[in-house]
Amino acid sequence: MTFVNPQDRRSRRLSVVSQLSVALALCCALAACNKEEPAQPTAAAPAATQAAPAVTAETAVSAKVSALTADQLREAARKAYAENRLYAPAEDNAVEYYLALRDKAPGDAAVSSALTDLLPMTVIATEQSVNREDFAEAQRLAALLEKADAQHPALARLKASIAAQQDASTKRAAQQQLTAEEEAKKKVELEKKRVEDQKKQQEDAARQLAAQQAATKQADDKAAADKAAADKAAADQRAADARAAEQRAAAARQAAAAPASADASDLRPLSMPPPRYPPEALRAGTSGEVQVEFTVGTDGSVTAARVVRSNPARIFDREAVNAVRKWRFQPIDAPVTTRRTIGFNPQS
């Protein structure tokens, strides 16, 4: 026989109980909100509540589960327990598998122990189903509980709670249905008045708009002409500014590149470790390159480094600069500033 290790089972039990406690608190809060703001009634609600067939202890374990062999039930129960499918979904949960296995192996102590562990969680899940008015699920869980232990101390309370909540839900739906026609008539009357009022308001607004358009047309034409002239002047100024900025940038690039091309040939690398590939870019298969401008001091170490351009922007900048700062060259007579383009390829 293969079952869950008792220590593992206790750890998972504590984890699941904790999760169920949080879920129960949330369900209670939602139930309180639903009482303050009841949902709109639907005519089919009573029928839907009564349509669900009652599940009994005799039918709690489905025929599909009961048809499995003892070995199949042990493996299915172990897997469901490990994956926290403790009592749901129907026909694929640990409680059903263990109950069916108990029918086939009544004296198995491990099965009894597993059911003992699972029953408190089944009780909590039943209460949660009642609170959210999922009576079919509540009846299914109560039937599982009854089949597992017909004398369980919570069983009578749960059955009474299910019946009381079902009765209250049915009465509430019936009362809502009685007032639905009257409310519908009121809505029709209100809608008719709203349409009439809206039509009158639109007619008044249309007359006011026509008067405003006639009075302001001349002013609007003048304002449009003034705006066009101002826009043209602003566009001309922006174009002039852009040309001046481009000229300054070109001059700066020429000035920056001149010393690098003259002295870069003096550099003799000693150590040029490659950059680290950013994990996010590697997982995404992103490639690119970064051009870095750096200055090599007289001792051969990199004293300054900055990104000149990168493609794609900012993805590889940090790793490229970090790598360049670690480069070492043979000592030189005077500091040299140069540029290198570092490529990033996930296939390399």
pLDDT digits (tens, 9 = 90+) for 200-226: 899 888 888 777 888 778 877 787 888
- The angle that helices 109-131 and 6-36 make with each other, rounded to 10 degrees, is 10
More confident call, 218 vs 150: 150
pLDDT at position 241 is 87
Range with lowest mean pLDDT among 126-130, 241-245, 284-288, 334-338:
241-245
User: 144 near 60, Cβ under 8 Å?
Assistant: yes
Mean pLDDT on 63-85 = 96
pLDDT surpasses 60 at 61: yes
pLDDT at position 323 is 97
Highest average pLDDT, of 21-25, 174-178, 263-267, comes from 174-178
Note the helical H segments in the chain.
Answer: 6-36, 45-51, 63-66, 70-82, 94-104, 109-131, 135-148, 155-263, 279-284, 317-325
pLDDT at position 283 is 94
Q: How far apart are CA 31 and CA 153, in angstroms?
A: 25
- The domains located in the chain, with CATH, are 6-177 (no CATH), 267-344 (3.30.2420.10)
Alpha-carbon distances, residue 59 vs 53, 288, 308 (angstroms): 11, 64, 74
- Of the candidates 187, 209, 189, 119, the residue with the CA atom closest to the CA atom of residue 155: 119
Q: How much is the CA Rg of the chain, to the nearest whole Å?
A: 39
Angle, alpha carbons 203-208-210 (nearest 5°): 95
User: 81 near 4, Cβ under 8 Å?
Assistant: yes
Angle, alpha carbons 34-155-148 (nearest 5°): 120
pLDDT surpasses 50 at 31: no
pLDDT at position 23 is 44
Q: How far apart are CA 331 and CA 300, in angstroms?
A: 4
User: Coil, strand or helix: which one is 315?
Assistant: coil
Binned at pLDDT 50, 70 and 90, residue 263 comes out as low
Mean pLDDT on 97-112 = 94
pLDDT digits (tens, 9 = 90+) for 291-322: 999 999 999 999 999 999 999 999 999 999 99
Binned at pLDDT 50, 70 and 90, residue 52 comes out as low
pLDDT at position 252 is 56
pLDDT at position 282 is 94
pLDDT surpasses 50 at 4: no
pLDDT digits (tens, 9 = 90+) for 110-139: 999 999 999 999 999 999 999 999 999 999
Binned at pLDDT 50, 70 and 90, residue 246 comes out as confident
pTM given for the model: 0.42
More confident call, 223 vs 254: 223
Residues, the chain: 348
The set of long-range contacts for 176-183, using a CB threshold of 8 Å and a minimum separation of 24, is: 176/41, 176/45, 177/41, 177/43, 177/45, 177/46, 180/41, 180/43
Residue 267: count other Cβ atoms within 10 Å of its Cβ.
15
**What is the residue-wise DSSP string for 54-103?**
PP-TTTSS-HHHHTS-HHHHHHHHHHHHHTT-SS-STTSSHHHHHHHHHH
Q: How far apart are CA 343 and CA 347, in angstroms?
A: 12
**Which phi and psi angles does 87 have, rounded to 5°?**
-135, 0
pLDDT at position 216 is 72
Binned at pLDDT 50, 70 and 90, residue 250 comes out as low
Q: What is the mean pLDDT of the chain?
A: 84
pLDDT surpasses 50 at 41: no
pLDDT surpasses 80 at 48: no
More confident call, 172 vs 54: 172
pLDDT surpasses 80 at 166: yes
pLDDT at position 26 is 42
pLDDT surpasses 60 at 259: no
